[in-house]
């Protein structure tokens, strides 16, 4: 377990992809802080599941839109464990709106999505960076999206926020080396409540069927699929990698699969 005794913070770590990442870190021997803004019961269950795997894990409230809250989350980790080694910026939000409907999103919709998806990541990196430098090992993985590379996705504001997150990844990879590596994973579709809540279970099943029919790998992504990519970039085995935006999308970005 190459992350044994490393300290990891996962924002939005209680549900979906964040929960899968938290559990994967625990399996690798890390001590895990499961951050949440609203999903307290889910975060506590995820922390308990991490403890069942033998990891020291806690659930800590903090809204990443608030810089003071982010610093408090990091302070909680350092008070308990004395260090921070891994940060997974997974917290995110969107508003579903057709890209062609230019009246669908207000200025505040854009700003609210940016506050979580971009500023939240920046706040957390800023709070963690001094501790990572002190430890001499820092791995930041930003959870971006195929939307930030292709302009598709749930809304224009979401795609733009993820494009900005990709740029932040590149800029901070240059600025924070050599102690701190900064990378991003860009998932395609993931079968979580991110889709089932707004679209309903039937709507999500339609997307799953389309993914299985049209992607080159004939797969619909699961949280565990994407977590593997995130854990690779967080782990000590990727110490030669920084400034990467890694697509994990079953080939969705390539377009429709050829007929079989």
So which residues are the catalytic ones? 158
Cβ neighbourhood burial of 255 (10 Å; 0-12, 13-18, 19+): exposed
Distance of CA 141 to the CA centre of its chain: 7
Phi, psi of 182 (to 5 degrees): -130, 120
DSSP letter at 257 equals P
Q: Which two tokens stand for residue 168?
A: 């932040």
- For the sheet containing 245-248, what is the strand order? 57-61, 31-36, 7-10, 86-89, 138-143, 180-187, 245-248
Q: Which of 135, 158, 138 minimizes the C-alpha distance to 148?
A: 158
Within 10 angstroms of residue 103's Cβ, the number of other Cβ atoms is: 6
Phi, psi of 70 (to 5 degrees): -60, -45
Which residue, chain included where needed, has tokens 């302070």? 75
Q: Which of 23, 90, 78 minimizes the C-alpha distance to 54?
A: 23
């Amino acid at each position: 377990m190459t992350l044994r005794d490393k300290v990891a913070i996962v924002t939005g770590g209680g549900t979906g992809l964040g929960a899968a990442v938290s559990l994967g870190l625990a399996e690798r021997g890390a001590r895990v802080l499961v951050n949440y803004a609203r999903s307290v019961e889910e975060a506590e269950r995820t922390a308990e599941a991490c403890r069942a795997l033998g990891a020291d894990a806690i659930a800590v409230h903090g809204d990443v839109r608030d810089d003071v809250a982010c610093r408090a989350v990091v302070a909680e980790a350092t008070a308990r464990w004395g260090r921070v080694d891994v940060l997974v910026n997974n917290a995110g939000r969107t508003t579903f709106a057709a890209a062609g409907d230019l009246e669908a999103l207000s200025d505040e919709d854009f700003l609210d999505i940016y506050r979580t998806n971009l500023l939240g990541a920046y706040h957390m990196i800023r709070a963690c960076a001094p501790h990572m430098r002190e430890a001499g090992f820092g791995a930041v993985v930003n959870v971006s999206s195929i939307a930030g590379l292709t302009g598709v996705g749930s809304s224009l504001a979401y795609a733009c926020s993820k494009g900005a997150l990709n740029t932040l990844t590149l800029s901070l990879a240059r600025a924070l080396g050599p102690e701190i590596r900064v990378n991003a994973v860009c998932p395609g579709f993931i079968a979580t409540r991110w889709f089932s809540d707004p679209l309903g279970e039937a709507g999500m099943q339609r997307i799953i069927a389309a993914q299985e029919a049209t992607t080159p790998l004939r797969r619909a992504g699961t949280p565990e699929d994407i977590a593997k990519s995130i854990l690779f970039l967080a782990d000590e085995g990727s110490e030669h990698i920084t400034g990467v935006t890694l697509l994990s999308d079953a080939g969705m970005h390539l377009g429709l699969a050829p007929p079989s």
